[in-house]
Amino acid sequence: MKFRRDRNGTVRPRGRAQFDLRGRLKLIVGVLGACGVILVARAVDLQLVDNAYYQQKADSRFLREIPIPTSRGMITDRNGEPLAVSSPVDSVWGNPQELLKHPDRLPELAEALGVPLDHLERRLAQRADKEFVYLKRRINPSEAEAILAHKVPGVFSQREFRRFYPQGEALAHVLGFTNIDDAGQEGVELAFDEWLRGTPGAQKVIRDRRGRIVENVDLVRAAQPGKDLTLSIDRRVQYLAHRELRATLERTGASAGSAVVMDIATGEILAMANLPTYNPNAVTGEHRDARRNRSVTDLIEPGSTIKPITVAAGLSAGVITPHTIFDTNPGWIPNGRYRTTDHRNLGVLDTTGVITKSSNIGTSRIVEKLDNAYFHDYLASLGFGRSTGSGFPGEASGLLPPAANWSGTSKQTMSYGYGLSVTPLQIARAYATLANHGRAVRPTLVKGQHEEPEQVMDAGVADTVLKMMQTVTEPGGTAIQAAIPGYHVAGKTGTARKASGGGYSRRYVSFFAGVVPVEHPRFSMVVVIDDPDPAKGIYGGAVAGPVFQKTMDGALRLMDVPPDDIETWLAEQAKQQEKERARTAPRQAAASTASTAATTGGRP
């Protein structure tokens, strides 16, 4: 027994301590129960109350929504031949955060990518807080596989599409091109970008911490490929125009050229060629001037190609007839303080002769009989001074000054093509209107996109002027080089001096615009040759006429257009047969001699 001493010093026995086991058990159970309630409440909060929030947090670590690439629609010519197609390619990308953890692998990666190491390191450092950076875009899948074969952590690839243009330079200005994100930048690619581009899809995937896809979770949105587009262009006619334009630039030393071919009845553009050109499959930032579609964006003074329009205006107003006589002696007339001259003294001409001989004085005599407003409105009715509505991006409207702003010399100089500005496409449309019995059609680059023609000129006047224009390509005319055997050709040459420093320089633009065949017109074509070397010739008939002749000669045969000049066609066929006989005769004679020698054993 244990004892204790009280305050008085008396020793007394110590009592046994009291132990409350039941109370302690209740306390422990209570604490555990409270903890259980807290845990259950937390679980309810996580699983039911804030489920979406925490699910989003979890998904943000592993679940990703990635795009499903889709291809642009194919562009074809009027016969279904592909002009622009999308090919599958791969793009290599990386996770900068992962790559920067392995700096020892960067030299190997730089070598595989074919880029300097410092360039790669700088690019990764700039995006150190990101999880995505392109390392090399739109490359062949085999090249991407070779890069991935190095197994550098944080390097992956994805499927994309790249535009390819089978016709290359020949159709570059019409089609344009797309950028690295496959969006249209110029030409048809830009004008119809929304139609062609399609809609990328999307899918949810789970990626591991290294960025690798381990599971496809859900298809969010299916990819919608772009719609195909059929152009009015005929690649065969386009090739002919491009080839002849290039040959002419080399022959004449010119700096640039354009050619447009239109279907007269529908307004469909069959060819639109320009030089210099570029390769749409490898577009760079250099030589931007070569990317300009001069047929619709460049403004030029039309020169003598406007003269048939001036004659038509005079006939429509009734101030002249086809038989009106014009005395152009002595080869010049005053125009304010200037002179209007012909290239030589052409003497006395009738109305047809004004077109045949391309007389500036003759058209000046016609236009002086016309009211300013009437002449202005007549030119405007044929589309000068406003866009043709072809829909091509950046198409110029041209310049036709209001009659109220004309000076004392304006009307006279406009009658032979100075003082107003047009595009080659506007000239082609105006000539198509003449050939279509005075009915104007809207040019289009899309097959089947036709509109009802608008009667803007008296049909009889249009037909009369077209017959006058036929004399230009016949003996005595200014463009016999544009004549096509078997077909009647109506056309007009032009040689305009280029404006420079408030006046005109000794540099030129040479034209030929024409229609074929005259009896049943099918094609309107304009050829513009910019800045030919004067030492090699500047006149439209000799410079631009051959481009028309060779291109249209091929197009008429490709389109199976029957000849409307049977006599010259038969004469040409006979001439060709005679040439063929002359070429093969020596070969046949040699073969006959050899056969005789073989039969006789060489004996005479």
Enumerate the active-site residues.
304
**Structure tokens belonging to residue 67:** 């795009």
Bridge-partner residues for 504, per DSSP? 499
Give the position of tokens 């420093």: 501
**Structure tokens belonging to residue 295:** 């047929």
Spatial separation of the C-alpha atoms in residues 250 and 573, rounded to whole Å: 30
Is residue 192 within 8 Å of 229, Cβ to Cβ? yes
Is residue 77 within 8 Å of 233, Cβ to Cβ? yes
| Among candidate residues 366, 556, 342, 548, the one with its CA nearest the CA of residue 465 | 366
Give the position of tokens 């008939």: 541
Spatial separation of the C-alpha atoms in residues 115 and 122, rounded to whole Å: 12
Spatial separation of the C-alpha atoms in residues 91 and 134, rounded to whole Å: 7
Is residue 423 within 8 Å of 395, Cβ to Cβ? yes
Residues of 332-361 as b/e, b for ≥16 C-beta within 10 angstroms? ebebeeeebebeeebeebbbbbbbbbbbbb
Q: Is 437 helix (H, G, I), strand (E, B) or coil?
A: coil
54: Cβ contacts below 8 Å, ≥ 6 apart: 46
Is residue 120 within 8 Å of 94, Cβ to Cβ? no
Spatial separation of the C-alpha atoms in residues 359 and 348, rounded to whole Å: 11
Is residue 259 within 8 Å of 540, Cβ to Cβ? no
| Among candidate residues 423, 413, 560, 434, the one with its CA nearest the CA of residue 487 | 560
| Among candidate residues 481, 507, 482, the one with its CA nearest the CA of residue 495 | 507
Is residue 77 within 8 Å of 234, Cβ to Cβ? yes
**Structure tokens belonging to residue 259:** 């050619």
Please give the sequence-ordered ranges of beta strands (E in DSSP) within 517-544, or none if there are none: 523-530
Q: What is the DSSP letter of 305?
A: G
Characterise 281 by phi-psi region: left (phi > 0), alpha (psi -120 to 50), beta (else).
Answer: alpha
Rounded-to-10 torsion of CA 401, 404, 407, 411: 70
Nearest 5°: the CA angle 28, 30, 32 is: 70
Characterise 476 by phi-psi region: left (phi > 0), alpha (psi -120 to 50), beta (else).
Answer: left
Q: Is the peptide bond before 330 cis (omega within 30 degrees of 0)?
A: yes
Give the position of tokens 């899809």: 201
Alpha helices in 299-368 (DSSP H): 307-317, 351-356, 360-367
- Element (H or E) spanning 173, and its range? helix 172-175
